[in-house]
Amino acid sequence: MKVMVLGGAGDMGAAAVRDLVNIPEVKLVTIADINVKVAKNLAATAGKDKARVQMVDATSRDALVGAMRGHDVVAGALGPFFRFERPIVEAALEAGVNYVSICDDHDAIASILPLDDEAQESGQIIMSGMGWTPGLSNILARKGFNEMDRTEKVHIYWTGSTGDAVGLTVLLHLIHVFSGKVPSFQGGRQVEVVAGSGHQKIEFPHPLSEINVFELGHPEPITMPLYFEGIQDVRLKGGLVENHFNRIIRFLSRVGVTKTQRGNRIVGELLKTLLPLFPINRKRSFSGVRVDVEGEKAGEKIRYSYAAIDNPRRLTSIPLSIGTFMVGRGDIKRRGVFSPEAEGAIDPEVFLGELNKRGIIIEEKKEKI
């Protein structure tokens, strides 16, 4: 199996590379990045004689297509996805390769769904949103959906520490999801809500405990209603462990500073410079996801709750690596453009078994409601 990791020298891409080279069936991992120096260092330290480096400028369609050809799967870890996902998917379709990405921007996912027919006709797999949230969140939701006789609601919550938000791309994503109006699925229909509204306090596993979360822009409310028959409610809320940082980003969004990509980038670069000055609770410097699935089973109202706590690089990159491997191995029978919770996409039990081998443990609770 030959795999390319696009953005492979970045935080998430590099962690995916480190996992992929340890999979026996993977014979080649191409680290595709514009930062050749960092990529070569990664190949030397983690490559296990499987890794090679290729300089790729993702703003060049021809460069992308040429670099992708000859691989079985391309793993996408190059953001911000609201800028890059659609052009990369178009390049993958032209190159005739399968593509799996950690895309976590709702508008980016929406932009590629219309390419489903083209991907089906060519027999390709374009599986977008295969990271932490979306990704792990989607697969946990599918697991809960499969357990139910009838599923009514899926509520997703995520949190992370500013101690982990060190990269500019991560900051740009945070600012983006806190800005403007974002999708939510309520009462069986798509609606828009104000990003940063709907404040709740949600309990995560130790050591995170209670965290402030808000309505944010992520793909799950767009994709899950496509694949979960009868679902009435899909909502996503998230927030940083350090609530003062949530307040700062919400304020900047409300005054309109982040409503353009240029404003988003200026604020992101400023926050990256100032981030070391913010107080961080090192005891809670983890990231987490919680997925609550509500419905009916054997005539009873049931809630399944799933949660995971770990380093954000692992929570994001390991699902990408596993998903990429499953595509390359032929586990995914569906073709087209879809997210991992789609019918015929990721088998939750196979995926969670692989996740468990890598030390990411899912806490599961079942209760009557």
Q: What is the pLDDT at residue 79?
A: 86
Strands (E), the chain: 2-6, 28-33, 51-55, 73-76, 98-101, 125-128, 150-160, 181-186, 189-194, 200-204, 209-215, 233-240, 287-297, 300-310, 336-338, 363-368
Q: How confident is the model at residue 63 (pLDDT cuts 50, 70, 90)?
A: very high
- Comparing 104-113, 142-151, 257-266, the range with the smallest average pLDDT is 257-266
Q: Is the pLDDT score of 110 beyond 90? A: yes
Distance in Å from the first CA to the final CA of the chain: 46
Q: Is the pLDDT score of 282 beyond 60? A: no
Do the beta carbons of residue 237 and residue 261 sit within 8 Å? no
Q: Is the pLDDT score of 169 beyond 80? A: no
Where does residue 237 rank: exposed (0-12), middle (13-18), buried (19+ CB within 10 A)?
buried
Say how far apart CA 312 and CA 167 lie, in whole Å: 12
Q: Is the pLDDT score of 272 beyond 80? A: no
Q: What is the pLDDT at residue 276?
A: 62
Residue with tokens 């709750």, as numbered in its chain: 305
Q: Where are the domains of the chain?
A: 2-131+313-360, 136-311
Q: Enter the pTM of the model.
A: 0.92
The CB density around residue 107, as the number of other CB atoms within 10 Å, is 17
Say how far apart CA 260 and CA 115 lie, in whole Å: 26
Phi, psi dihedral angles at 261 (to 5 degrees)? -65, -35
pLDDT (tens digit per residue) in 35-45: 999 999 999 99
- The two structure tokens encoding residue 309: 């706590």
Amino acid identity, position 36: V
pLDDT (tens digit per residue) in 225-247: 999 999 999 999 999 887 777 78
Question: 2-131+313-360: what CATH class?
Answer: alpha beta
CATH architecture of 136-311: 2-Layer Sandwich (3.30)
Do the beta carbons of residue 295 and residue 153 sit within 8 Å? yes
Q: Is the pLDDT score of 163 beyond 80? A: no
Is 129 in a helix, a strand, or coil?
coil
Residue with tokens 């799967």, as numbered in its chain: 73
Q: What is the pLDDT at residue 279?
A: 57
Say how far apart CA 133 and CA 316 lie, in whole Å: 8
